Amino acid sequence: MSKKPVRVAVTGAAGQIGYALLFRIASGEMLGKDQPVILQLLEIPDEKAQNALKGVIMELEDCAFPLLAGIEAHSDPMTAFKDTDYALLVGARPRGPGMERADLLAANAQIFTVQGKALNAVASRNVRVLVVGNPANTNAYIAMKSAPDLPRKNFTAMLRLDHNRAASQIAAKTGKAVAGIEKLAVWGNHSPTMYADYRNATIDGQSVKDLINDEQWNREVFLPTVGKRGAAIIAARGLSSAASAANAAIDHMRDWALGTNGKWVTMGIPSNGEYGIPKDVMFGYPVTCEGGEYKIVEGIAIDEFSQECINKTLKELTDEQDGVKHLL
């Protein structure tokens, strides 16, 4: 018997990431090739944006996706999030050249109080939320705090792009296939302070740390390359990453919904105090997923350098949190 359709809300649906994301959700790449979806698409109440959204919807229709059970266009989060099972909060201003993601806080924070409240009011009581719009961790924190009737654990931020970037750099450095990488972790904020940690990682079963055996490369090449990759893409393209961001969003949601078979992935999730991170900080952690739930990988040894990196990214997140206190 075919499955009942699930509702997937996507904000910023007529933007760059939206354009790279929606067709993949509708084709079943996110929730499985047997799972029909109803897309509930939100754009700002502006004629140009709504027209662009109409165009995207026409294209979705023209794909005749067998799993696409419905498409709705919205300009109000209170209707866009009605009964939604999954919400991908992409809509927000992207940064331009020379900006840091934290510079977007003032511009974007308000969006996430409004959308958090709307999710709280009308979404499925078990809605799973992924925040992509930057600064993603703090926006997810704002949305979670604005939705007190929903489970805290169901609010997440996207660190998967950093995870995938780190995996790709490791594969290139070792000359091995990215598919062979296990036990990679990215800690903290989706920003240059994030700490990509391959101390426990293996590639084709061999220790990545031993294979690379170059701590200077780790600190002076790998970490800055992964941390500043978003800026490098903006400098090259004149626009922020879109296809790779959409791909990471698909990976994040697919793994959360369908499981990782024991493989470590990175998700930004609200802390419960794990690894000394204060409760509620939306922090990138290594997790495994099973049965629609994520679980933090416990027991990872934190050496002095790792602790310094974790402290730095944590400080940035708590400063961002302080900066949005007045909104909550």
What is the Cα–Cα distance from 328 to 143, expressed in whole angstroms?
9
The answer to whether 320 contacts ligand NAD (rule: CB under 6 A) is no
Handedness of CA 5, 57, 164, 137 (dihedral sign): negative
Is 284 annotated in a binding site? The answer is: no
* Beta carbon of residue 314, minimum distance to ligand NAD (angstroms, whole number): 18
Question: Within the chain, how many helices (H) and strands (E) appear?
Answer: 12, 14
What is the Cα–Cα distance from 320 to 326, expressed in whole angstroms?
12
The answer to whether 314 contacts ligand LMR (rule: CB under 6 A) is no
Q: Pick the binder of ligand LMR from 40, 138, 164, 240 (CB under 6 A).
A: 240
What is the Cα–Cα distance from 199 to 300, expressed in whole angstroms?
10
Which of ligand NAD, ligand LMR, none does residue 120 bind (CB under 5 to 8 Å by kind)? none
* Beta carbon of residue 122, minimum distance to ligand NAD (angstroms, whole number): 15
Residues in CB range of 96: below 8 A, 6 or more apart:
234
Give first-to-last CA distance, the chain, whole Å: 45
The residue whose Cβ lies closest to ligand NAD is 15
Question: Is 326 a residue of the active site?
Answer: no
The answer to whether 134 contacts ligand NAD (rule: CB under 6 A) is yes
Quick one: which of 248, 258, 232, 257 has its CA closest to 284? 248
Q: CA-based Rg of the chain, rounded to a whole angstrom? A: 19
Which of ligand NAD, ligand LMR, none does residue 233 bind (CB under 5 to 8 Å by kind)? ligand LMR
Quick one: DSSP state of residue 149? T
Note whether 91 and 43 are within 8 A (CB): yes
Q: Pick the binder of ligand NAD from 119, 245, 257, 282 (CB under 6 A).
A: 245
Stretch that binds ligand LMR, among 29-37, 233-241, 248-256, 297-305 (CB under 6 A): 233-241
The answer to whether 111 contacts ligand NAD (rule: CB under 6 A) is yes
Q: Binding site residues for NAD(+), as ranges?
A: 12-18, 108, 115, 132-134
Query: Which residues bind to ligand NAD, rule: CB under 6 A?
Result: 11-12, 14-18, 42-44, 49, 90-95, 111, 132-134, 136, 158, 161, 190, 240-242, 245
Catalytic annotation, residues: 190
